[in-house]
Every structure is written in C-alpha cells, then in structure tokens.
Amino acid sequence: MADELVMPRLSDTMERGTVARWIKHEGDLVASGDVVAEIETDKATMEYQSDLDGTILAILVADGETAELGAPIAIVGEPGEAITPRPAADHTSVTAPVGASSAPATPRVTTAPVKASPIARRIAEESGVDLRELAGRGSGPDGRVVRTDVERLIARAGRREELPPPRAVAPVAPPAEAEVVDATRIQTVIARRMSEAKATVPHFYLTAEIDMTRAMTTRAELNAALAATGEKVSVNDLIVRACGLALHDNRQFHRSWIGGKVAYHPHANVGIAVALDDGLIVPVIREVERKTLRQVASEARDLAKRARTGQLRQPEIEGGTFTVSNLGMFGVAHFAAIINPPEPGILAVGATIERAVPVAGSIAIRPIMNLTLSADHRSSSGADGARFLQSVQRYLEAPILLVG
C-alpha cells in the first residue's frame, strides 16, 4: 500500500524545510535508509533518509519548494499502484495514509508518557491543551509532539484566545535611505529563539578573569610537537575541554529546567558557536569529559568546517547541554551571551589581552582572558554557577589537567 514520505524534523528549531534537491526521482526504487533528498533547514542542509521500501510514485514538493514540518513530500508504493496524493499545503498535524477517509477522527487519549518538545509542553500548559490527544501522532521523530502540532490542535479546538496575547508594538518604518531585504530563514529563527530565551529564561551573569600564561605556553608546546601531523590545538579547544571537565565535576550546575522538572545531564555535550554570513550555528561535541584534548580539537575543526559549508548532519546540531561562544578573535574583551534553552548556561569568551597584574607581591604583565557565564536561575543558584566557573578557571590555569 502506498505511503508518504513527510518533511522530517532535522533540527530543534525547525518548523518547515526546503527540498534543496531530490537525489531519487519518480520511478526510482528506494529502500529504508537510502538517501532520497537533501533538505535545507533553518540551520543547515542535511541528507534525508527514507524510512520506506518501494518505488517513488510521486514527488509532491519539487526542488526549491518549502513544506511544513510533517507535510507529505513524496509517495512511495508499488509500481502502477493508484494514488491520490494530498497537496503538502493541506497537511495537518496527523498524516493520514493515502486513500484514508478525510472524516475527522475522534481524539485518541492515552495514559502513557507523551514525547514532546519543551516548547510544545509550555504552550500546551499555557493554553490548557491535553498533550495526550497527540500521543504518538506528532510530526517529530517517532511521533514526538512539536510546537506546530500543539498550535494546530489549539486552532481546531477554538482555544487560541487563551494563549497570552501578543504584546502590542507600534510598527517602525525603516529609514528611507536604508536597503531593506527579507530576513533569511535562519535569521528569522534566531530572532524568535533569542526573544523567547530572554523573555522566558531568568538569566544571571558571572565573570571571571583567567591568567592564560600557562595555557598559552602549553598550547605552543603542543602545537610544536604536533607540527608534523598537521594537527593544531586552539585556545577555544582548551576552553571547550575545560568546560567539559567542569560540567562533569559540577552536577548541581549541569542540569536543565524542563517542564517544571530538573534534568541532570550525564555527559557534557558542548556546543561551539560558529559564525555564518547570515547568523550562526552551534554544532555539538559529545561527551567532552571522555575525550582527549586532541580529539576535541580534531572534532571542533571538522564541525566548524562543515558548518560553514552546510554539511552538518542532524545529530551534530542537537543534544547540547552547554555552549561556548568565543568572540575573542574579533578583539572583543567582554560580552554576555543569551542562553539556548533548555541548556543551563552559555560561556562568553573574550580576547586574551596582556595586562599588568599583581603576582606574588609585585607587578607583572600577564595574558588575561575574561569569561562571562550566563546561567538559568531556575536550574542553578549563583553559588552553583560560581563553583562551575571556578572549575573552568582551575583547568585553564593548570592546563596539564586538560592534556590527560
């Protein structure tokens, strides 16, 4: 029986996707696991693997066209099989099999735990929606309920008026001499995500000064020893490794506030902010506490390179439990970053600047770096954040601990 390939969820913030190009075409055989298309999301262009076996009978979303998350984009079945494909624009949160009745179904309520994204849970709580009505029928992976599923359910139930009303803001016209262009998809998503983060996450900030003398010496010695291999260790690699170990050491800080509960993270999955022409992307190095400094450096270099060419895969941009954002290479001495929820915090890294500082009763010139921690006050206290930052400082000022 014919079935649908649907627009997959390929990132945490994805609400729609664009078919960059079809690799398989109408009439081609496909098997589960075959790459059938490349999908452009708000973060990157990624390969889409089929979860069906059969022949592509119809392509519903052509190269360059966009569809909502979970909307049908192709039909797979047996050659010659009659199909009545629905347009992608007619998609609702529950994808009906081809040829199924269009009569509205009675909501199915289950008592089992419902898989849902944090923002879907928050919207459901605010609007009085019972997520059990969507259990197993969300448009995310494995039926996970996402934001658009809840919003569609709210609209069908006539409860949209119960959502918090949008704040009235007077429209502002751009200056007459300004060049005005449409925001890209990634710019739009970043604007929405950052607005939500600042509005819903109570940030607090802690700053520490790090004496990078020994870290810079250690880095120079490592790079000299690795010269023949072509490997290099950056200052940011030292910081990412230090954060991974510090997160592992400070369980009280390394936890997230999710749906009114506190989730403790077993591994330090550290995201590294990579600047793009029209925004940024945050690939994730997993289980940093278990990796050597050379492994961290190699992964960071590879992820950053592929991030700039749009070649990251889905798992490489999800699952972060902390983020490092470094603007030191631009000469920025100090800044505060916005948390990417549900992560418990983000570390803003400034430039390493030579300064006169007191050392053992005298004045010396030392390379000093400013670190500013932004933390979620729901999941950690000021003392939790301070202990974490102290650990990062200890590792960077005794970098032999990072090499082992």
Please tell me which residue in 203, 267, 334, 377 is annotated as part of the active site.
377
Q: What share of the chain is helix, strand, coil (3-state, %, to 5)?
A: 30, 25, 45
Number of H helices, E strands in the chain: 8, 18
Region of poorest pLDDT, from 110-114, 283-287, 352-356: 110-114
The share of the chain scoring above pLDDT 90, in percent, equals 50
CB atoms within 10 A of CB 352: 20
Confidence of residue 294 (pLDDT cuts 50, 70, 90): very high
Rounded CA gap, 183 and 173, in Å? Answer: 15
pLDDT value at 87 more than 80: no
Q: Is the pTM of this model over 0.75?
A: no
The residue-averaged pLDDT of 343-361 equals 95
254 noted as active-site residue: no
Between 303 and 143, residue with greater pLDDT? 303
In order of start, what are the domains of the chain with their CATH numbers? Answer: 3-90 (2.40.50.100), 118-162 (4.10.320), 186-403 (3.30.559.10)
Do the beta carbons of residue 54 and residue 76 sit within 8 Å? yes
Residue 238: partners with Cβ closer than 8 Å, 6 or more residues away: 215, 218, 219, 293, 396, 399, 402
Q: Report the C-alpha gap between 191 and 183 in whole angstroms.
A: 10
Q: What is the DSSP string of 346-395?
A: EEEEEEEEEEEEEETTEEEEEEEEEEEEEEETTT--HHHHHHHHHHHHHH
Q: CA-CA distance, 20 to 396, in Å (whole number)? A: 43
How do residues 295-342 score in pLDDT, each as one tens digit? 999 999 999 999 998 888 888 998 999 999 999 999 999 999 999 999
pLDDT in tens, 223-248: 999 999 999 999 999 999 999 999 99
Report the amino acid identity of residue 245.
L
| Spatial separation of the C-alpha atoms in residues 5 and 8, rounded to whole Å | 8
